[in-house]
Structure 1
Amino acid sequence: RHSVSYQGSCVDNVPIESWFSLLKCESLKLHHISTRNQAKQLVSEYVIYYNQHRLQEQLKELTPIQYRALALY
């Protein structure tokens, strides 16, 4: 596996590794995936769910979309 982080910066991937863990636990492991298209569809649906519906404790119990909207105003 090739890393795209800067040399000596092991924490660069922490947020995305955490997100992938949630994706697997909250979506992919709950379905029997038999095709690549089915996997792509599940990931697309999870991205929408994560950004628009899943409340985030670290974002004051808002969704990422809601939190970003508040930050812009």
Structure 2
Amino acid sequence: MSRKGNCLDNSPMENFFGILKQEIYYGNKFYSYEYLKQTIEDFIKYYNEERIKEKLGYLSPVEYREKNVA
């Protein structure tokens, strides 16, 4: 939970939701809540397990975490 009056606390989530909307929401029509929910769940799995990030040395977040825990 971010502190009152400190928008920087929420910056990572704002960034994630911006990417989510850009990649799956804009330009698509979701005719049911279940389809929207499943699409978001699939995107979160993709974002964490498959989508590589330059900042993480071209690894996915899960790969980066596993590499640095050992």
TM-score, with normalisation over the residues of structure 2? 0.90
Letter of the 1:32 counterpart = K
What residue number does 1:6 align with?
A: 3
Q: Distance in 1 between matches of 2:40 and 2:5?
A: 31
Q: How many residues align?
A: 70
Superposition RMSD in Å: 1.2
Gapped regions of structure 2 (runs ≥ 5): none
Instruction: Kindly state the Cα deviation for residue 29 of structure 1 after the two structures are TM-superposed.
Output: 1.9
1:53 to 40, 50, 54: 50
What residue number does 1:44 align with?
A: 41
TM-score, with normalisation over the residues of structure 1? 0.87
What residue number does 1:25 align with?
A: 22
Runs (4+) of structure 1 exceeding 3 A deviation are none
Q: Distance in 1 between matches of 2:64 and 2:46?
A: 15
Q: Does 1:34 pair with 2:31?
A: yes
- State the identity %: 33
Instruction: Kindly state the Cα deviation for residue 71 of structure 1 after the two structures are TM-superposed.
Output: 1.0
Q: Does 1:70 pair with 2:52?
A: no
